[in-house]
Amino acid sequence: MQVEVSRGQGRPVYEQIAAQLRAAIESGEVGAGQRLPTIRALAQRLGVNRDTVALAYDALSAEGLIESGVGRGTFVAQQAAAGDGDAAAAERGARFEPLLSPLTARLLAFERARPRFGSDAGPVPMHALIPDPSLYPVGEFRRALSRVLREDGASLLAYGGPEGHPAMRQLQAERLRLAGIDVSAEEVVLCHGASQGITLVLRLFAEPGDVVALEEPTYNNVLASVFGLGLRTAPVPLREDGPDLAVLERTLARPEVKAFYTIPSFHNPTGATTSLAARRALLAVAARCGKPIIEDGYELDLAWLGHAPQPLAALDRSGLVVHLSSYSKSLFPGARVGSIAARGALVEGLHAQKRATDHSDAMCLQAALAELVSSGAYDRHLARLLPVLRARCEALVEALAAEMPEGTRFTRPEGGLQVWVELPGDLDTHELLADAARAGVLFAPGAQFHHDGRRSRALRLCFALPDVDAIRRGVALLGKVVEARLGAEPRTRASVHI
C-alpha cells in the first residue's frame, strides 16, 4: 500500500499515517504477521520527524493492531483480522475520543520518544539503572515486614501523615547527619522514591511557564517531571569538574529561572562527581543569585571507591539546598521510599504538596524499611553490594578500553551504577540501538538525557544488572556493532510501499 501525508489537511500527520495503516490492516491489504517499515525508515520516506511515525505506531499498538520490540521490528498483530473493518469503524465512531491537555500531550510526546527495549531476556541489559535482583536482601526485608506487621498490625495499614513514618524519618535524619547534613526528623519528608521527590520540590519553586536550570546532559525523568508540570528548561553544560559555573551564573540571574537541579555525586547519566572546590563555588553562585538548589543524592550510599565529597546540603549554611535521597538504587526500587530534606516553610509546603498528591505513603513499607535499617541489615547489605559494584565497573572500564574503536571516550566513576561513553565519528546512538539489540546488547542512547532530545553520539552503560562475564560479553558485542556502523557505506532509500 502507499502511505501519503498532507500538511494542509488540517489533521495531525500522525493521525493520517495511523488512519491509512489502520484501513489497510482492517481491509486485509496488509496481512497479519506482515512486517511494517521501521520508524526511522518510514519517517525518512515521508519526510517527517521520527516522533510523528512513533505516535502513529503507538496509536495502532494501543488498539492491538500492531506489535513491536527492539531488535524484532514492527508487525501486524495476529489477531488483527481482515473483514472487521465496518464493525471496527462503527465501534470507533461510537467511542469517546478524549482531548488531552497540552501538558499531557507534551509529556506523552516525550514518553513516546523514549526507546522501546522490548521484553526479550536475551540481550545483555546495560540500559537500565536497576539493581541486580539477585542481590536484593529479600529474606531480611520479608522478616522486617513480618515483624512490624506483627507488632503494629492494623495501624500500619491505615492512612499516615504526609510526612511519612516517624521511625523512618528519624533514622533517615540520623543517616543524613552522618553524611554531614544537619537535619532533624521534622525536616525530613518521605516520598515515593526520589522521582516523586523531584516533582514535589519543583512544584515548591515553580509554576507553569517558569524555567528550571538543569545540567546538560541530565537525568531523563527530571525532564519528564519538568514537561509534565508545564515548566521550561535552561541547560547548563556539564564539564569534567561539574556544571559550567559561568553559564550557571548567567542562567540563575534570569528572573524567570526559579531553581537549579543538580546531581553532584555519581551523576546520571555521566557517572561523574563534582569536586569539593566546584561544590563550594556552585553554592556561592546560587547565593549571589538568590536561587535554590535541588540536590539529587539518589546514589549517596553507593560510593564503592571510598567516600564522595560532602553533599551540597552539608556545605550549605544559608538554606539554599533541598536534598533528595532514595533507597531505590542501593536497596531495591519496589519499596518506593525516598526522602526530602528541607528547612522552614519548605517543609510545610511539602506537607501540603503531599496531601494534594497522594495523601499518604505506604506506612507498612516505610516501617519495614525502618526495621531493616535499624537492625543493621541494610548496612550489611551495602557491605556485600559495594564490592560487587566496584568489580563490575572495573570490568566495564577494562572492556571499553579493550573492545571499543579508537577515539572512544568514557568516564571512570568512583561510585554509582553507570558509565558515560562518547563514540567517535558522526554516529547517532538512538539509531545504533536497534543494531545493538539485534547483536545482543542494550544501552541507553544519549538523546534521552538532553533537554531537547537532539541526536547524540553518546550512550549510558549501566553495570548494575549484568554480572562481570555478561558485561565483558556485552561490550565486545557493542564494539563490533560500532565498528560495523563506522565502516558502513551510506544506506540507500527503499520504496515507500509497504
Cβ contact 57:74 at 8 Å:
yes
Query: In the chain, what are the domain boundaries?
Result: 13-98, 124-135+380-487, 138-376
Which string of DSSP letters, residue by residue, matches 239-278? ETTEE-HHHHHHHHTSTTEEEEEE--SS-TTT-----HHH
Choosing among 1.10.10.10, 3.40.50.10470, 3.20.20.20, 1.20.1250.20, the CATH entry for 13-98 is 1.10.10.10
Which string of DSSP letters, residue by residue, matches 90-133? HHHHHS------HHHHHHHHHHHTSPP--S-S-SEE-S-----G
How many Å apart are CA 326 and CA 332, to the nearest integer?
Answer: 10
Write down the CATH number for the domain with range 124-135+380-487.
3.90.1150.10
- Length of the chain measured in residues: 498
pLDDT digits 0-9 by tens, 217-247:
999 999 999 999 999 999 999 998 999 999 9
- What pLDDT shows up at residue 237? 97
Range with the poorest average pLDDT among 40-49, 52-61, 71-80, 432-441: 71-80
Q: Is the pTM of this model over 0.85?
A: no
- What pLDDT shows up at residue 38? 85
Return the CATH fold of 138-376.
Aspartate Aminotransferase; domain 2 (3.40.640)
Backbone angles phi, psi at 144, to 5 degrees: -65, -45
- What pLDDT shows up at residue 72? 67
Cβ contact 213:259 at 8 Å:
yes
pLDDT digits 0-9 by tens, 287-344:
999 999 999 999 999 999 988 789 999 999 999 999 999 999 999 999 899 999 999 9
pLDDT digits 0-9 by tens, 331-380:
999 989 999 999 999 999 999 999 998 888 899 999 999 999 999 999 99
Backbone angles phi, psi at 194, to 5 degrees: -65, -25
The H or E element containing residue 154 is: none
